[in-house]
């Protein structure tokens, strides 16, 4: 077995027999279970033969923009199709092989997530800083022909693969790879530690141009394929000051985990709460000693202001957008906030005269494994906030949870 995928295929049968070497003693065990049921065995690592590491040197790769001193796992670059299948990581396919193709088709390892960036071979090779990158999209045709579900990503870099080059890429997708399940377009993130000279954040004009092109291509794909296929990241709508599409226009949200449609989902969740069973009180019913304050990144604040518009207008909740000083640049997603930046913002907030005792609502996404990206344990962060005289709640931030939490404070 090379990985948990191979293991799962072997134990999917009813009553599998497992041979175990325990300190030199060979044991044969029969696991009583039905076909398709889990066997109850868990592994420390998903890949048993090591990760296929990425040999690209993309300038926009966020790993190159990480400062020193973070946990070692953050610096690991993978380009492994198995991690694409297991966790939704995007792979460039530059290290994909004939053997990998056979395995994917034989074992039906689907879906896969592929970084497209540009269909032009020369431009893609330049973006990946790898000559092989210009040819590796050739694997898409046999994968799609074999019925493998593929979701693509285009990281849009101003002056490189935007504008007419974006049109060319989407035209190639329509003509050569129309079977693709979806394509997400996300703006490049450029932090303070970026040391190159080719990348920069997109201007407002460039963001509008990109969004207009994506919307036009959605219309083209809808006519030719019967589905929109390409979707713009939520940042584009926020930057352009435009309303998010209705839920139906996200075609079941195939790129939700890529930050595409999260805003619409959150807004709709908040709006769906039944006002008959979740009555919102008057502002005077909320004690200032327990004011809920939502901690969020700068980008998330724009979405939450829409989801909690009524509560904000009534003074039932406050918003605390935290500037990402750690990464800087145009990095504004909540999940990349550090414990240090959050603590500094909370300290400033609580130190302002006239503000009552607050309850800070922290999103669990800042520490999905229990530690923030700068290595601060979540327990330490909450303890530091409480030492400032505030209360803390750690929540899965979604529209329904937030509104119910705010309303319950009234």
pLDDT tens sequence across 71-87: 777 778 899 999 999 99
CATH level 3 topology of 62-260 = pyruvate-formate lyase- activating enzyme (3.80.30)
pLDDT beyond 50 at 257: yes
**What's the rounded Cα separation, in Å, for the pair 128 and 134?**
8
Of the candidates 390, 388, 366, which has an alpha carbon nearest to the alpha carbon of residue 377?
366
pLDDT beyond 90 at 398: no
For residue 111, say if its preceding peptide bond is cis, omega within 30 degrees of 0: yes
The first and second tokens of residue 107, run together, are 């074992």
The enclosing H or E element of 210 equals helix 204-225
- In a 13 Å sphere around the CA of 409, the CA atoms on its Cβ side amount to 25
C-alpha of 370 from chain center:
18
Q: What is the pLDDT of residue 288?
A: 45
When mean pLDDT is compared across 75-79, 210-214, 402-406, the lowest value belongs to 402-406
When mean pLDDT is compared across 77-86, 130-139, 227-236, 271-280, the lowest value belongs to 271-280
The per-residue pLDDT for range 352-391, each reduced to its tens digit, is 766 667 889 998 888 888 899 888 999 999 999 999 888 8
Residue 17, helix vs strand vs coil: strand
Q: What is the pLDDT of residue 46?
A: 94
How many percent of the chain have pLDDT more than 90? 63
pTM, full prediction:
0.87
How many percent of the chain have pLDDT more than 70? 91
Angle value at C-alpha 208, between 203 and 214, nearest 5 degrees: 125
pLDDT beyond 60 at 332: yes
Domain residue limits, the chain:
1-50, 62-260, 272-408
Angle value at C-alpha 234, between 232 and 240, nearest 5 degrees: 90
CATH classification code of 272-408: 3.40.50
Rounded mean pLDDT of 183-188? 96
The per-residue pLDDT for range 8-43, each reduced to its tens digit, is 999 999 999 999 999 999 999 999 999 999 999 899
**What's the rounded Cα separation, in Å, for the pair 126 and 120?**
10
């Amino acid at each position: 077995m090379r990985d948990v995928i191979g293991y799962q295929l072997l134990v999917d049968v009813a009553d599998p027999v497992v041979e175990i070497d325990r300190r030199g003693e060979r044991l044969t065990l029969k696991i009583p279970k039905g076909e398709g049921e889990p066997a109850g065995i868990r592994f420390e690592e998903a890949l048993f033969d090591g990760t296929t590491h990425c040999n690209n040197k993309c300038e926009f790769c966020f790993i190159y923009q990480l400062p020193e001193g973070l946990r070692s796992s953050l610096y690991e670059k993978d380009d492994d199709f198995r991690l694409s299948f297991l966790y939704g990581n995007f792979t460039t396919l530059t290290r994909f092989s004939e053997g990998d193709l056979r395995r994917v088709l034989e074992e039906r390892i689907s879906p896969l997530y592929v970084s497209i960036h540009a269909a032009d071979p020369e431009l893609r090779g330049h973006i990946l800083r790898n000559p092989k990158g210009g040819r590796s999209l050739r694997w898409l045709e046999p994968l799609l022909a074999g019925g493998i579900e593929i979701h693509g990503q285009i990281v849009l870099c101003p002056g490189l693969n935007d504008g007419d080059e974006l049109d060319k890429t989407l035209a190639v997708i329509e003509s050569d790879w129309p079977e693709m399940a979806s394509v997400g377009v996300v703006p490049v993130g450029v932090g303070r530690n970026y040391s190159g000279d080719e990348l920069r954040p997109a201007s407002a004009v460039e963001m509008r141009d990109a969004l207009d092109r994506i919307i036009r291509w959605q219309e083209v794909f809808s006519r030719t394929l019967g589905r929109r296929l390409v979707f713009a990241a939520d940042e584009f709508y926020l930057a352009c000051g435009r309303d998010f599409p209705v839920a139906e226009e996200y075609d079941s949200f195939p790129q939700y985990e890529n930050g595409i449609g999260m805003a619409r989902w959150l807004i709709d969740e908040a709006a769906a709460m039944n006002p008959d069973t979740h009555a919102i009180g008057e502002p005077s019913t909320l004690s200032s000693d327990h004011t809920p304050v939502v901690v969020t990144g700068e980008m998330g604040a724009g979405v939450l202001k829409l989801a909690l518009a009524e509560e904000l207008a009534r003074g039932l909740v406050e918003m605390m957008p935290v500037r990402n000083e750690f990464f800087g640049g145009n990095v504004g997603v909540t999940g990349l906030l550090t414990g240090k930046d959050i603590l500094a913002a909370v300290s400033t907030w609580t130190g302002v005269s006239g503000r009552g005792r607050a309850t800070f609502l922290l999103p669990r996404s800042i520490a999905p494994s229990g530690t923030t990206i700068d290595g601060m344990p979540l327990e330490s962060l909450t303890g530091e906030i409480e030492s400032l005289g505030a209360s803390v709640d750690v929540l899965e931030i979604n529209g329904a949870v937030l509104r119910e939490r705010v309303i319950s404070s009234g």
